[in-house]
Amino acid sequence: MSDSWAVDVEDVSKNFGDVKALDGVTLRVRQGEIYGLLGPNGSGKTTLIRMFVGLVAPNAGTVTVLGQRMPNVAMLSHVGYMTQAAALYPGLSVEENVRFFAAINGTEGGVKVALEFVKLYDRRDSVVSTLSGGMRQRCSLACALVHKPQLLLLDEPTVGVDPQLRVELWAGFKEMADAGTTIIVSSHVMDEAERCQRLGLILFGKLLTEGSPDEIRARAGTPTLEEAFLSLSQSRA
Protein backbone atom coordinates (compact mmCIF):
# COMPACT_ATOMS: atom_id res chain seq x y z
CA MET A 1 0.00 0.00 0.00
CA SER A 2 1.63 3.17 -1.21
CA ASP A 3 -0.38 5.40 1.15
CA SER A 4 1.27 3.90 4.19
CA TRP A 5 4.41 5.66 2.99
CA ALA A 6 4.71 9.35 3.78
CA VAL A 7 7.17 9.74 0.95
CA ASP A 8 7.67 7.28 -1.88
CA VAL A 9 10.46 8.02 -4.36
CA GLU A 10 10.64 5.61 -7.28
CA ASP A 11 13.76 5.53 -9.46
CA VAL A 12 14.06 9.31 -9.69
CA SER A 13 16.65 11.07 -11.83
CA LYS A 14 17.24 14.77 -12.33
CA ASN A 15 19.75 16.57 -14.50
CA PHE A 16 20.70 20.22 -14.35
CA GLY A 17 22.36 20.61 -17.73
CA ASP A 18 25.24 18.15 -17.75
CA VAL A 19 25.20 17.70 -13.99
CA LYS A 20 23.39 14.62 -12.71
CA ALA A 21 21.92 15.87 -9.44
CA LEU A 22 19.98 12.65 -8.79
CA ASP A 23 20.60 9.35 -10.49
CA GLY A 24 18.02 6.58 -10.04
CA VAL A 25 17.15 7.21 -6.40
CA THR A 26 14.53 4.97 -4.79
CA LEU A 27 13.62 5.53 -1.16
CA ARG A 28 10.57 5.29 1.05
CA VAL A 29 9.84 7.01 4.34
CA ARG A 30 7.22 5.60 6.72
CA GLN A 31 4.62 7.72 8.40
CA GLY A 32 5.75 8.93 11.81
CA GLU A 33 9.39 8.19 11.04
CA ILE A 34 12.36 10.50 11.49
CA TYR A 35 14.43 9.95 8.39
CA GLY A 36 17.87 11.49 7.92
CA LEU A 37 19.28 12.36 4.50
CA LEU A 38 23.03 12.33 4.85
CA GLY A 39 25.57 13.40 2.31
CA PRO A 40 28.30 15.93 1.58
CA ASN A 41 27.59 19.35 0.08
CA GLY A 42 26.25 19.09 -3.46
CA SER A 43 25.35 15.40 -3.18
CA GLY A 44 21.68 16.00 -4.09
CA LYS A 45 19.99 16.20 -0.67
CA THR A 46 18.42 19.59 -1.24
CA THR A 47 17.30 18.68 -4.76
CA LEU A 48 15.53 15.65 -3.34
CA ILE A 49 13.81 17.70 -0.64
CA ARG A 50 12.75 20.30 -3.21
CA MET A 51 11.16 17.46 -5.18
CA PHE A 52 9.05 16.52 -2.17
CA VAL A 53 7.41 19.96 -2.35
CA GLY A 54 7.17 20.06 -6.13
CA LEU A 55 9.74 22.81 -6.63
CA VAL A 56 11.80 20.49 -8.82
CA ALA A 57 10.24 18.05 -11.25
CA PRO A 58 12.14 14.81 -11.88
CA ASN A 59 13.35 13.99 -15.41
CA ALA A 60 12.48 10.36 -14.76
CA GLY A 61 10.72 8.43 -12.01
CA THR A 62 7.91 9.40 -9.66
CA VAL A 63 7.64 11.17 -6.33
CA THR A 64 4.58 10.42 -4.20
CA VAL A 65 4.03 12.43 -1.03
CA LEU A 66 1.26 11.56 1.45
CA GLY A 67 -0.34 9.45 -1.23
CA GLN A 68 -0.37 12.21 -3.84
CA ARG A 69 1.78 12.20 -6.94
CA MET A 70 3.93 15.37 -6.96
CA PRO A 71 3.82 18.12 -8.01
CA ASN A 72 0.47 18.76 -6.34
CA VAL A 73 -0.20 22.19 -4.90
CA ALA A 74 -3.31 21.25 -2.92
CA MET A 75 -1.56 18.82 -0.56
CA LEU A 76 1.25 21.27 0.28
CA SER A 77 -0.77 22.56 3.25
CA HIS A 78 0.07 19.23 4.91
CA VAL A 79 3.79 19.74 4.36
CA GLY A 80 6.13 22.01 6.28
CA TYR A 81 9.35 23.02 4.62
CA MET A 82 12.27 24.68 6.33
CA THR A 83 14.79 25.86 3.79
CA GLN A 84 18.52 25.76 4.30
CA ALA A 85 19.01 29.49 4.82
CA ALA A 86 16.52 30.99 7.26
CA ALA A 87 14.06 32.38 4.73
CA LEU A 88 12.14 35.01 6.65
CA TYR A 89 10.90 38.56 6.20
CA PRO A 90 13.57 40.60 7.99
CA GLY A 91 11.29 43.61 8.43
CA LEU A 92 8.59 41.67 10.27
CA SER A 93 8.60 40.59 13.88
CA VAL A 94 9.00 36.94 14.84
CA GLU A 95 5.30 36.56 15.49
CA GLU A 96 4.31 38.36 12.28
CA ASN A 97 6.47 35.97 10.28
CA VAL A 98 4.99 32.89 11.90
CA ARG A 99 1.47 34.27 11.58
CA PHE A 100 2.03 34.90 7.86
CA PHE A 101 3.17 31.35 7.17
CA ALA A 102 0.23 30.04 9.18
CA ALA A 103 -2.15 32.13 7.10
CA ILE A 104 -0.84 31.05 3.69
CA ASN A 105 -1.26 27.46 4.83
CA GLY A 106 -4.83 28.15 5.79
CA THR A 107 -4.65 28.16 9.58
CA GLU A 108 -4.70 30.84 12.25
CA GLY A 109 -4.03 29.00 15.47
CA GLY A 110 -0.87 27.29 16.53
CA VAL A 111 1.30 30.41 16.50
CA LYS A 112 1.87 30.39 20.26
CA VAL A 113 2.55 26.66 20.33
CA ALA A 114 5.07 26.97 17.50
CA LEU A 115 6.84 29.90 19.15
CA GLU A 116 7.02 28.07 22.48
CA PHE A 117 8.37 25.01 20.72
CA VAL A 118 11.35 26.96 19.39
CA LYS A 119 11.68 28.96 22.66
CA LEU A 120 11.01 32.28 20.97
CA TYR A 121 7.72 33.19 22.61
CA ASP A 122 9.41 35.81 24.78
CA ARG A 123 11.03 37.32 21.71
CA ARG A 124 7.89 37.28 19.60
CA ASP A 125 7.86 41.06 19.17
CA SER A 126 11.49 41.29 18.07
CA VAL A 127 12.04 42.26 14.47
CA VAL A 128 13.80 39.42 12.66
CA SER A 129 16.62 41.60 11.32
CA THR A 130 17.74 42.18 14.92
CA LEU A 131 17.98 38.46 15.78
CA SER A 132 21.08 36.28 15.91
CA GLY A 133 21.60 33.55 13.32
CA GLY A 134 20.47 30.80 15.67
CA MET A 135 17.29 32.64 16.60
CA ARG A 136 16.46 33.19 12.94
CA GLN A 137 16.94 29.50 12.36
CA ARG A 138 14.47 28.78 15.17
CA CYS A 139 11.99 31.31 13.85
CA SER A 140 12.27 29.68 10.44
CA LEU A 141 11.54 26.33 12.07
CA ALA A 142 8.48 27.77 13.77
CA CYS A 143 7.24 28.99 10.37
CA ALA A 144 7.67 25.49 8.95
CA LEU A 145 5.68 23.69 11.63
CA VAL A 146 3.08 26.27 12.67
CA HIS A 147 0.35 24.65 10.54
CA LYS A 148 0.98 21.23 12.13
CA PRO A 149 2.02 19.50 8.92
CA GLN A 150 1.88 15.73 8.50
CA LEU A 151 5.25 15.85 6.79
CA LEU A 152 8.01 18.15 8.01
CA LEU A 153 11.03 18.70 5.76
CA LEU A 154 14.02 20.21 7.50
CA ASP A 155 17.03 21.20 5.44
CA GLU A 156 19.88 21.41 7.94
CA PRO A 157 17.61 22.64 10.72
CA THR A 158 19.95 23.18 13.64
CA VAL A 159 22.92 24.87 11.99
CA GLY A 160 23.94 27.72 14.29
CA VAL A 161 21.71 26.55 17.12
CA ASP A 162 23.53 26.02 20.41
CA PRO A 163 23.92 22.42 21.71
CA GLN A 164 21.51 22.75 24.59
CA LEU A 165 18.68 24.02 22.43
CA ARG A 166 19.53 21.44 19.77
CA VAL A 167 18.85 18.72 22.31
CA GLU A 168 15.55 20.33 23.24
CA LEU A 169 14.50 20.73 19.60
CA TRP A 170 15.26 17.10 18.91
CA ALA A 171 13.20 16.07 21.90
CA GLY A 172 10.41 18.09 20.34
CA PHE A 173 10.89 16.40 16.94
CA LYS A 174 10.70 13.03 18.64
CA GLU A 175 7.44 14.02 20.29
CA MET A 176 6.00 15.18 16.97
CA ALA A 177 7.05 11.93 15.32
CA ASP A 178 5.43 9.92 18.11
CA ALA A 179 2.24 11.87 17.45
CA GLY A 180 2.40 10.75 13.79
CA THR A 181 4.31 13.52 12.03
CA THR A 182 6.84 12.30 9.50
CA ILE A 183 10.09 14.23 9.65
CA ILE A 184 12.79 14.22 6.99
CA VAL A 185 16.01 15.93 7.99
CA SER A 186 18.93 16.67 5.76
CA SER A 187 22.17 17.08 7.57
CA HIS A 188 25.86 16.51 7.61
CA VAL A 189 26.02 16.84 11.36
CA MET A 190 26.61 13.33 12.71
CA ASP A 191 25.16 14.22 16.08
CA GLU A 192 21.84 14.81 14.31
CA ALA A 193 22.12 11.70 12.18
CA GLU A 194 22.45 9.66 15.34
CA ARG A 195 18.99 10.76 16.45
CA CYS A 196 17.23 9.64 13.25
CA GLN A 197 15.44 6.31 13.12
CA ARG A 198 16.70 5.62 9.64
CA LEU A 199 19.34 7.22 7.48
CA GLY A 200 19.89 7.40 3.76
CA LEU A 201 23.42 8.13 2.58
CA ILE A 202 23.47 10.13 -0.65
CA LEU A 203 26.58 10.58 -2.72
CA PHE A 204 26.88 11.95 -6.26
CA GLY A 205 23.12 11.79 -6.67
CA LYS A 206 22.88 8.10 -5.73
CA LEU A 207 21.47 6.48 -2.61
CA LEU A 208 24.53 4.68 -1.29
CA THR A 209 23.04 2.83 1.63
CA GLU A 210 20.03 2.98 3.91
CA GLY A 211 19.33 1.80 7.46
CA SER A 212 19.28 2.67 11.13
CA PRO A 213 22.42 4.25 12.60
CA ASP A 214 23.32 0.91 14.20
CA GLU A 215 22.88 -0.98 10.95
CA ILE A 216 25.06 1.50 9.09
CA ARG A 217 27.80 1.32 11.70
CA ALA A 218 27.68 -2.46 11.58
CA ARG A 219 27.76 -2.49 7.78
CA ALA A 220 30.87 -0.32 7.69
CA GLY A 221 32.41 -2.05 10.67
CA THR A 222 33.30 1.22 12.38
CA PRO A 223 32.59 2.42 15.95
CA THR A 224 31.19 5.85 14.99
CA LEU A 225 28.72 7.03 12.40
CA GLU A 226 31.20 9.58 11.13
CA GLU A 227 33.78 6.94 10.32
CA ALA A 228 31.09 4.75 8.81
CA PHE A 229 30.01 7.59 6.60
CA LEU A 230 33.58 8.32 5.46
CA SER A 231 34.45 4.69 4.83
CA LEU A 232 31.23 4.02 2.89
CA SER A 233 31.72 7.15 0.79
CA GLN A 234 35.28 6.21 -0.06
CA SER A 235 34.45 2.66 -0.97
CA ARG A 236 32.04 3.88 -3.66
CA ALA A 237 33.75 7.10 -4.79
Partner 1 sequence: MSGKRVAAITKRLLQQFRRDRRTLALLFVAPIVILGLLGYLIRGSASAQVVGIANEDQGPIGATVAAALARSSGISTTTIQSSDGDSKLKDGSLAAYIVFPSDFSSQAQAGTIAPDVHLEGSQPGTIAPVLQALQEALISAVSSQAPGQGLHVQPRISYLYGGPGFDTLDYFGAAFIGLVVFFLVFVVTIVSFLNERSQGTLERLMASPLRRGEIVLGYMLGFTVLALIQSVEVLVFALAVLKVHNSGNVALIFGIEALMAIAAVNLGIFLSMFARTEFQAVQFIPLVIVPQFLLSGILFSVSSEPKPLQLLSGVLPLTYAVNGLRDVMVRGADLSWGSLQLDVGVVAGFIVVLVIAAATTLRRRIA
Binding site for partner 1 (CB under 8 A): 50, 53-55, 57, 73-74, 76-77, 79, 81, 83, 85-90, 101, 104-106, 143
Task: Give min distance, CB of 85 to partner 1, in A.
Answer: 5
Q: What is the DSSP string of 116-153?
A: HHTT-GGGTTSBGGGS-HHHHHHHHHHHHHTT--SEEE
To partner 1, the closest distance from the beta carbon of 146 in angstroms equals 11
CB 76 within 8 A of CB 54: yes
Residues in the chain, total: 237
Cβ proximity to partner 1: between 140 and 209 the closer is 140
Q: Minimal distance in Å, beta carbon 73 to partner 1?
A: 6
> In the complex with partner 1, which residue's Cβ is closer, 99 or 195?
99
Q: Which lies closer to partner 1 via its Cβ, residue 129 or residue 224?
A: 129
Contacts of 166 (CB under 8 A, 6+ apart): 158, 191, 192
Q: C-beta of 144: minimal distance to partner 1 in Å?
A: 8
Q: Which is nearer to partner 1, 27 or 128 (CB)?
A: 128
Residue 173 phi/psi, 5° resolution?
-60, -40
How far is 37 from 21, CA to CA, in rounded Å?
15
